[in-house]
Amino acid sequence: MSIELSMPKSWRQETKPHKFCPGCGHGLVLKALGRSIDELGIQDKVVFGCDIGCSLLAWDFFNVDTVQTHHGRTTPVITGIKRARPDRIGVAYMGDGGGYAIGSQHLVNAAMRNERITAILVNNANYGMTGGQMAPTSLPGMKTETSPYGRDPEHTGMPMQGPEMVAAIAREGAYVARGTIANVRQATTFIKRALENQMAGNGFSFVEILSTCPTNWSTNAKDTWHFVEQEMPKYFKVGEIKVPGTKEE
């Protein structure tokens, strides 16, 4: 018997070192997703799609069927899988660059067509994997590799309000929320509800999660947490935005 086979089954299935930088929020978002999948008992049904960007580091994170797509194309790839196999639970996982810049048309069209998939977008206010360029979500005045004097809203606009846009164009049955890694319990609830919405066949489900990128923000632990907990919510309101069966719908 090999050493690996002699390990407890739960250890082999549930433990894996992640590859994100220390202090990165991706791991917490994925933990929230993994916990939701476990609690719903849908591990055998989930098809997980991860974008190019640091989200791709999750390609072998879960013991679920996984596809790694081109940058910005995770939403249409998962849409195609879901259309071919409606019995599956499709999860499209991406960064803000992937979802709001290069892949924004896919997000818009999936929302307008009310595709029965769940999209989870990690908003860390920059392009993480490529070295910290300005993203549609970068905050006014935020210094990035491509805005060394700080983002100037007069010339580059205000931060993208993704969930608000999706809620405005989505059809009846869509679920839309914004969570934060500063409140993982709440973020888990939102992700779980987004999966349940797909399981009920209601419609498109979209959850943005405010997250950290200390490597490119060049912040220590204290400042990293301050930025995600205090600064980002000034521009990105945390909470549920569209819930089927309520007056917010």
Under the rule (CB under 6 A), what is the footprint of ligand SF4?
Answer: 20-21, 24, 26, 54, 124, 128-129, 213-216
Task: Find which of ligand TPP, ligand SF4, none residue 135 binds, CB within 5 to 8 Å per kind.
Answer: ligand TPP
When binding is defined by CB under 6 A, the residue of 55, 104, 138, 198 that contacts ligand TPP is 55
Query: Exposed/middle/buried for 235, CB within 10 Å: 0-12, 13-18, 19+?
Result: middle
DSSP 100: I
Contact 221, 69 (CB under 8 A): no
Radius of gyration (C-alpha) of the chain in whole angstroms: 18
* Residue 148 beta carbon to ligand TPP: minimum distance, rounded to whole angstroms: 18
Task: Find which of ligand TPP, ligand SF4, none residue 96 binds, CB within 5 to 8 Å per kind.
Answer: ligand TPP
* Residue 9 beta carbon to ligand SF4: minimum distance, rounded to whole angstroms: 30
Between CA 121 and CA 211 the distance in angstroms is 10
DSSP 6: H
* Residue 87 beta carbon to ligand TPP: minimum distance, rounded to whole angstroms: 29
Among all residues, whose Cβ is closest to ligand TPP?
Answer: 95
Strand 239-242 to 205-210 pairing: unpaired
When binding is defined by CB under 6 A, the residue of 98, 136, 173, 203 that contacts ligand TPP is 98
Q: Is 54 in the site for ligand TPP (CB under 6 A)?
A: yes
Q: Is 208 in the site for ligand TPP (CB under 6 A)?
A: no
* 6 Cβ contact partners less than 8 Å away, ≥ 6 residues apart: none
Residue (117 or 213) nearer to ligand SF4, CB: 213
* Residue 191 beta carbon to ligand SF4: minimum distance, rounded to whole angstroms: 18
Between CA 76 and CA 122 the distance in angstroms is 18
